[in-house]
Amino acid sequence: MGNLINEQAQEALFRLAAIVESSEDAIISKTLDGVIVSWNLGAERIFGYKEKEVLGQHGTILIPTDRINEEAQIIQKLRQGERVEHFETVRQHKDGTLIDISLTISPIKNSIGTIIGISKIARNISHSKQVEKALRESEAQLRQKAIELESTLLELKRMQTQLVQNEKMSSLGQLVAGVAHEINNPVNFIYANLMPANEYTQDLLKLLRLYQKHYPTPVTEIQQKSKEIDLDFLLEDLPKLLSSMEVGAVRIQTIVGSLRNFSRMDEAEIKQVNIHEGIDSTLMILQHRLKGKSDREIKVVKNYGNLPLVECKASQLNQVFMNIICNAIDALEERDQKLTFEEIEQQPSQIRIFTQMLDSHQVQIRIADNGQGIPKIAQEQLFDPFFTTKPVGKGTGLGLSISYQIVTEKHNGSLRCHSIPSQETEFVIEIPIRQTV
């Protein structure tokens, strides 16, 4: 019976040895001090050492110097009876190359449960690590490509909207310039004829007074006609009428001048211009919105500094003034709708425009309103394309974005916004006096 048991035990040991030797994984056993006592063919294939080269050697011959501490920590866990599973680390081949491996480490116990050694199963995961690394790199590249594509798409959208807006502004400029030109000719004709018409009228009135002086008692028909046309009132009112016509003609000439100044269609793209004329022209065009209703007029306070002529693309810079002032008007109209007449009287709506020289090279234009301000979170996105705080249908989210591009890209300047919610908003434009090519 004893022989049979021994034979069965030996057969089981042979089978176990065959399994160990045929394994693709490295199966190694060590003493608790780390000395190698068994080494299979899988270990030879993975690490390059023959069995005779490693038996009796310390396991540190497989460990890179920067990972020596790992062994002590693992042994400490094993002494406490813990098992280490699928621990991924790096070990060293005989030729010095590093190998990514996955370790499963178990304590070896004797018949009474005392830990007497260590059993290690090491699997070479270098290929899977390389595949994983390649996948990560591929994912990173794909993410980067996606970011680049998204950025390109946004840039294309921005360029498209810029082109559309430029085309609109160009068409508007041509329309404004054309209207101004068409109005200018007849107005100049009327204004030029007002002076001789006034002289002729004064001569006729003088002649009529002479008749009245020398023929105080005209015939009945003349007396009746004089009464019918109220001659005394006509003599008094006709000069006033001609004077009013002259004031109106001058006013139309001023408006035409503002329209032409705003459009700047007859000027080179970059030219020395008077910044204040551009602001005043914009205010003139927006006069109907500034006046609003009789009880809700927006006051404009101008504090102009002594600025030199500034090299700029005048029509584009006027577009910036138009966008910012329109936004200020929108904000003030929204504010006033929520206030009573008495509250508006106490704190009237106001737009303040301030200009100054920053230094010998730069000018600054500040446009502020005492509206409701802009929330902090919205301020961070204010110059982003398509971002708007206005209700649907009232804003495209392009005005400030395009203004920012005009100031920063076309004029090498800066555009900033400072806002205190519920109090005020101020836009600050800074541009160089001379543009460098």
Task: Output the domain CATH number for residue 387.
Answer: 3.30.565.10
Q: Which residues pair with 118 in a beta bridge?
A: 30, 107
Domain that holds residue 16: 2-124
The predicted model scores a pTM of 0.49
Q: Are 385 and 397 in contact (CB under 8 A)?
A: yes
Structure confidence by residue, pLDDT tens digits, 157-208: 767 666 655 555 555 555 666 666 667 677 777 777 778 888 888 888 888 8
d(CA 193, CA 216): 33
Helices and strands in the chain, H and E counts: 13, 12
Give domain status of residue 250, yes or no: no
Above pLDDT 90, what percent of the chain? 10
The overall average pLDDT reported for the chain is 80
Q: Which of 72, 104, 124 is the last residue of a domain?
A: 124
What is the maximum alpha-carbon separation in the chain?
A: 171
Structure confidence by residue, pLDDT tens digits, 298-314: 889 999 999 999 998 88
Q: What is the mean pLDDT of residues 244-258?
A: 73
Instruction: Give the pLDDT score at 119.
Output: 87
Give domain status of residue 168, yes or no: no
Q: Which of 106, 124, 142 is the last residue of a domain?
A: 124
Instruction: Give the pLDDT score at 259.
Output: 65
Give domain status of residue 29, yes or no: yes
Instruction: Give the pLDDT score at 429.
Output: 93
Q: Which of 124, 142, 170 is the last residue of a domain?
A: 124
Continuous H helices in 55-106: 68-79
Q: Which of 2-16, 127-141, 268-282, 291-305 has the lowest mean pLDDT?
A: 2-16
Give domain status of residue 434, yes or no: yes
Give domain status of residue 403, yes or no: yes
Instruction: Give the pLDDT score at 266.
Output: 47
Give domain status of residue 133, yes or no: no
Instruction: Give the pLDDT score at 353.
Output: 94
- Identify which of 68-72, 347-351, 426-430 has the greatest average pLDDT: 426-430
Q: What is the mean pLDDT of residues 104-129?
A: 85
What CATH number has the domain bearing residue 88?
A: 3.30.450.20
Structure confidence by residue, pLDDT tens digits, 211-229: 888 888 888 888 888 888 8
pLDDT interval class at 78 (50, 70, 90): confident
pLDDT interval class at 2 (50, 70, 90): very low
Give domain status of residue 266, yes or no: no
Give domain status of residue 113, yes or no: yes
- If one counts the domains in the chain, the total is 2
Q: Which residue has the higher pLDDT, 7 or 274?
A: 274
Q: Are 51 and 64 in contact (CB under 8 A)?
A: no
Which backbone phi and psi does 116 adopt, to 5 degrees?
-120, -5
